C-alpha cells in the first residue's frame, strides 16, 4: 500500500492530467467557435477557463501544503516543484484557448478568419490539442521517449505558423488589415499553447532523467555513438 | 547578525532585482533598436538574454537547494516558492525583450515600424520599462502600496495598446500587411512584458499580506468604509 504522502503526490499528478484534458478540450472548442463563428461555444470556452484556474490554485495550495508538512527532499522535492511549474504551463494553455475564443466572440456573427485559412488554422488547432493530450499522457506515464516526440510535433505547428504568415503577406491577400491582425494574434496563441505543452513534456524529462532535454539528448547520442 | 538561511533568502531577492534590472535594460535597448533600426543593439539584446536565463536557472537551483536543506515552513516557504514564480515571470520578460529585438533585426536596415507609430511604441516601451523597475523596487522594499500602483500603470499600457490597434485598422493605414503583422506582434510583446511585471508585484502583495490582490483591495476598502 502506498503511504499518504505518495498518494498525495499521485493526486497532484491526476490534477495535472485533468488540467491538460480541460485545456485541450477548451482549445478544440475555441477552434470550432473561431471557424464556425459559434458564439455559444466561444462563451462556453471563456466561462470554463475558470475551472482550469481553480484547479491551478488548488494544486498550488496542495503542493505548498505538502512541502510544509512532509518536507520532501531529492526526487520527491523535485516532483513537487516541477508540478507547480507544469500547473502554471497548463493554466496558461487555458488562458490561450480563452484568447482564441475571445477573438471568435469579438467578430461574431462573422468568422474572424477567412475561409481560405480555415484548413491551416484547423490543423494548427488539432495539432496543438494533440500535443497537450500527449503531454497529459507523458505526465501520467513518465514516458521519456514520448516526451521527446513533442518537440518534433511542435515543429509541425511552427511550419503551419510560417504558412499562415506567408498567406498574410502574400500580395493577393484581400481580407484587409483587421483580419490580418486577428489572424496574427490567433496564430500566436496556438503557437504559445503548443510551446507550453512542449514545456510540460520537457519538465517530465528533467524529472525522470535529472537532465534538461538538450543534455539528455546529447548524452543519449554520445552513448549511441559509442555503441555504433 | 542574520543567519545563513536568511542571508540566502536575501541573496535570492537580490538576484530577482538583478533579473528585473536586466530585463528592463534589455527592453529599453530593444525599443531603441526597433525604432532606430539599430542592428548592433538588437544583437546585443538577443545575446544578453542568455544572462537572464542563467540567473533564472541559478536562482531555481538555489531555491530548490534551500527547500531541501532548510525545509522552511509557513512564511519562509511561501517566500521561496513565490521567488520561483517571480523568477519565471522575469525570465519571460527577458524573452519578450528578445522577441522585440528579433523583429528589429528581421527588418534591418528598415525600421520595422512606421514613423507615425514611433511615439506610441516609444511610450509603451518606456512605460513597460518603468513597470519592471517598479517591480524590482517592490521586490526589494516589499512596499505593498507601490505594488498596487502597478495595475494602474498597466492600464496606461493597455490604453496605448488599443491606440496602436486603432492606428492599424484605420482606413488611412498605408504601410501594408507585413508591417501590420510586425506592429501587432510587437504590441503584444510589450503588453505581455508589462503583464509579467504586474504579476511580480502581485506576488509580493500576496507574500506580504497573505492575500491575493483582489481580496486585499476588497478587505482594505471594507475597512476604510467602516472608518468613514
Residues B23-50 pLDDT 10s: 999 999 999 999 999 999 999 999 999 9
- pLDDT number for residue B212: 77
- B181, pLDDT greater than 60: yes
Q: Would you call B181 exposed, middle or buried from its count of C-beta atoms within 10 A (0-12, 13-18, 19+)?
A: buried
Whether cis (ω within 30° of 0) applies to the bond prior to B109 is yes
- pLDDT number for residue B217: 76
Q: Identify the closest residue of chain B to A184 by CA–CA distance.
A: B181
**CB contacts, 8 Å: A185 with chain B:** 184, 188
- B214, pLDDT greater than 80: no
CB-CB: which of A67, A169, A185 is closest to B188? A185
**Helices and strands, counts by H and E, chain A:** 7, 0
Q: Which domains can be identified in chain A, with CATH numbers?
A: 4-227 (1.20.58.220)
DSSP string, chain B: ---HHHHHHHHHHHHHHHHHHHHHHHHHHHHHHHHHT-HHHHHHHHHHHHHHHHHHHHHHHHHHHHHHHH---HHHHHHHHHHHHHHHHHHHHHHHHHHHHHHHHHHTTS-SS-GGGHHHHHHHHHHHHHHHHHHHHHHHH--HHHHHHHHHHHHHHHHHHHHHHHHHHSTT--SHHHHHHHHHHHHHHHHHHHHHHHHHHHHHHHHHHSS-HHHHHHHHHHHHHHH-
- In angstroms, what separates the C-alpha of A184 from chain B's closest C-alpha? 6
How many CB atoms are located within 10 Å of the residue B119 CB? 12
Q: Per-residue pLDDT averaged across B158-171, rounded?
A: 95
Q: Per-residue pLDDT averaged across B93-108, rounded?
A: 98
Q: Do B181 and A173 touch (CB under 8 A)?
A: no
Residue A73 DSSP code:
-
Which element (helix H / strand E) includes A170? none
- pLDDT number for residue B211: 79
Percent with pLDDT over 70 in chain B? 97
For chains A and B, CB pairs below 8 A equal: 61
Residue A210 falls in which region: left (phi positive, over 0), alpha (psi -120 to 50) or beta: left
- pLDDT number for residue A123: 98
pLDDT band for position B225 (50/70/90)?
low
- pLDDT number for residue A176: 93
Residue A149 DSSP code:
H
- B2, pLDDT greater than 70: no
Residues A54-101 pLDDT 10s: 999 999 999 999 999 999 988 899 999 999 999 999 999 999 999 999
Set of cell numbers at residue A51: 475551472
Q: Which residues of chain A have pLDDT under 50?
A: 1
Chain mean pLDDT for chain B: 94
Closest CA to B185 of A117, A164, A25: A164
Which element (helix H / strand E) includes A143? none
Best A177, A186, A190 residue to mutate vs chain B (most B CBs within 10 Å): A177
- pLDDT number for residue B213: 75
Q: Are B158 and B122 in contact (CB under 8 A)?
A: no
The CA-atom distances, in angstroms, between B113 and each of A69, B34, B49, B63, B183 are: 54, 7, 23, 41, 6
CB-CB: which of B68, B169, B173 is closest to A73? B68
Which is higher by pLDDT, B226 or A77?
A77
- pLDDT number for residue A4: 84
- pLDDT number for residue A175: 94
Q: Identify the closest residue of chain A to B68 by CA–CA distance.
A: A73
Interface of B with A (CB under 8 A): 64, 67-68, 71, 73-74, 77-78, 81, 84-85, 88, 165, 168-169, 173, 177-178, 180-181, 184-185, 188
- pLDDT number for residue A222: 76
Q: Identify the closest residue of chain A to B175 by CA–CA distance.
A: A177
Q: Do A168 and B181 touch (CB under 8 A)?
A: yes
Amino acid at each position: 500500500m502506498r503511504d499518504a504522502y505518495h498518494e498525495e503526490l499521485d493526486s497532484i499528478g491526476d490534477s495535472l492530467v485533468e488540467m491538460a484534458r480541460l485545456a485541450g478540450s477548451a482549445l478544440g472548442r475555441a477552434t470550432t467557435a473561431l471557424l464556425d463563428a459559434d458564439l455559444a461555444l466561444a462563451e462556453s470556452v471563456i466561462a470554463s477557463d475558470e475551472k482550469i484556474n481553480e484547479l491551478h490554485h488548488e494544486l498550488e495550495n496542495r503542493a505548498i501544503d505538502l512541502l510544509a508538512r512532509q518536507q520532501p527532499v531529492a526526487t520527491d522535492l523535485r516532483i513537487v516543484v516541477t508540478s507547480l511549474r507544469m500547473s502554471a504551463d497548463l493554466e496558461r494553455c487555458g488562458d490561450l484557448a480563452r484568447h482564441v475564443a475571445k477573438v471568435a466572440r469579438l467578430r461574431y456573427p462573422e468568422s474572424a478568419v477567412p475561409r481560405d485559412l480555415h484548413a491551416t488554422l484547423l490543423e494548427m488547432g488539432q495539432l496543438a490539442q494533440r500535443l497537450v493530450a500527449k503531454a497529459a499522457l507523458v505526465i501520467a506515464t513518465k514516458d521519456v521517449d514520448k516526451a521527446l516526440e513533442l518537440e518534433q510535433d511542435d515543429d509541425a505547428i511552427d511550419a503551419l505558423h510560417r504558412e499562415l504568415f506567408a498567406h498574410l503577406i502574400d500580395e493577393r491577400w484581400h481580407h484587409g488589415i483587421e483580419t490580418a491582425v486577428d489572424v496574427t494574434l490567433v496564430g500566436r496563441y496556438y503557437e504559445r499553447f503548443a510551446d507550453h505543452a512542449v514545456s510540460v513534456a520537457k519538465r517530465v524529462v528533467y524529472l525522470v532523467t535529472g537532465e534538461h532535454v538538450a543534455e539528455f539528448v546529447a548524452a543519449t547520442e554520445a552513448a549511441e555513438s559509442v555503441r555504433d
